[in-house]
Each structure stands twice: as C-alpha cells, then as structure tokens.
Structure 1
Amino acid sequence: MRAKKIKAEWPGESSLFILKLTIHAGVGLHVVPGIRTRIQISRSLVTIHAEIRTRVAPGQGESPKFPRPCHQLIRKGRRRREKKNKKKKKKKKKKKKKKKKNKNKKKNKNKNKKKKMEKKKKMKKKKEREETEKKEK
C-alpha cells in the first residue's frame, strides 16, 4: 500500500485532528470503530478523512503525533497479498467416463443375423407358395 498524500490538519491546541490520506483503491481498508470517518472515492484513489483524538492534552505546545488508532485505521491489504503469493492451483482435468463395453454385442449381432435370415427364408417360402398357388389356378 502506498499512501499518496498524508496530511494531518489540526486546529491549534485542541486534541482533535483530521487525518486525511489518499490511497489506491482496492487496498483493503479497516476503520477502527469509534472514529468518525468519511471515505471518498474518486477514480482509482480513496481519500479518508478521519477525526482522531490524540493523547496530547490541549495547551501543550508540541504538535500531536499520530496516535495509535491511526495505524489501525489502515491495514495493509494482507489478504490480497496472501492471495497473490499463493501459487495458482492447476485445474484438475475431468476424467472422461469410460463407456461400458457391451459384452453381448457380438451375441446380439449374431442373433439378429439369424433372425433376419430366418425371416428371409420364410418370405421366400411364402412367395414360392403363392407362385405355386397361382400356377395351380
């Protein structure tokens, strides 16, 4: 994750300041509850305006350092990285189902042949009978 701009603006001595940062979209943001945030998305950048209470008491001259929640505010896209690092799994090829061999195929073929032959013989006999009957008439 690369933050493009990090601007911290805070009014004078108050203990409240606004953290404004712009990050590339799709970085995986985690906003801590209890912090008022406004997330703005434009093109490929995300701007977060977050009001964070600092540990610096008002009246102290030093400028507030980024408080703890600020680090929690943006969590680097760990899951995205892990995903990227994982080696791409090869897709398993689906095994083609082997067609069951018909064991009776030959038997059936022979049976059918025999049946056909018998039918032919019967037809021949029938024709011959008809012819002989015609001749007799």
Structure 2
Amino acid sequence: MSRIFLISFLVVLASCGGNLSDKERKALHTEMDERAIKKVSEEEIFEKALEEGRSLIQAVTEDFVSEEQAASMCKCTLQWITEDNASSLSGTSKELWDAYEFAVSNGNSLNDNVQKQDDDLLYSAPSMEGESLHGVWFITFKKKNIILSL
C-alpha cells in the first residue's frame, strides 16, 4: 500500500514539473511588472491627465473621432458644454464654467486644466469663438486608469 502511495506521489510530483515555455515566462514577468507597486507623484498624475485630455480633444475636434469612440478609447466620460446646457452642471464642473465665464468677461486668457474630483480627475478645456466663450470640454478620468497608464 505504501509503495502505491509513493509511486502515485512521485507521478503527481513529476507531472507538476513547473516547466514554463519562454512565451509563458515572458507573460508571467510582464504581469508581475504590471502589478508591481509604483510610486508616482501627484504632479506626474496631473501631467498625464493633462496630456491625455489634450490628445482626446485633438482627436475629437481635428481628427473627427466621435465622442463615444474617444470615451471608449480612454475609459472616460466626455462632455461638451455650451451656454445652452451649462445649467445642467454641478459641483466642480459648474465652478470651472463660472470661472471661465468670469475670465472671459475680464479679458483674461483661458487655459485647460485638471482638477481633483473625489476619486476622479476632471480635465477642462475652454473653446473660444472670437472674444466669447464658445464652450468647454469636460473629460472625467478615473485616477486609477491614469496611474496605470504611467
């Protein structure tokens, strides 16, 4: 009985040899690298969100990519806000809209920016038409997705 157990044990042990092909080994190392803990600064996160936001706005406005396609590419939400639908805004988006309107009325220049919004990052990019505010793009990124893309 003990011989049968010993032979069975050796067969099981031999079949679990742990041999990985080169492809499997590379995939394992890639997965381990992706799961490694990375230390990134807030500045790096905000810079990456700013970069992603700018490239998405360029894709939508110049490359004629639809908002839905752009949103699915970055796993984010895009919103084009004009004076007609600005009343639907709330929170940080509303504050940014008001700040852009105030800046335009005082003749100040407008710049895109990134704001922290709970666990998300809110990218905003104003669009001018002559001397007036034509609209603002709002893109909400998941902070986790931005960190993983670094």
Higher normalized contact order (CA 8 Å, seq sep 6+, divided by chain length):
2
Larger-Rg structure: 1
- Range into which the TM-score falls when normalised by the shorter chain: under 0.3
Query: Which structure has the highest helix share of the two?
Result: 2
The alignment's TM-score, normalised by the length of structure 2, stands at: 0.20
What TM-score do the two structures reach when normalised by structure 1? 0.22
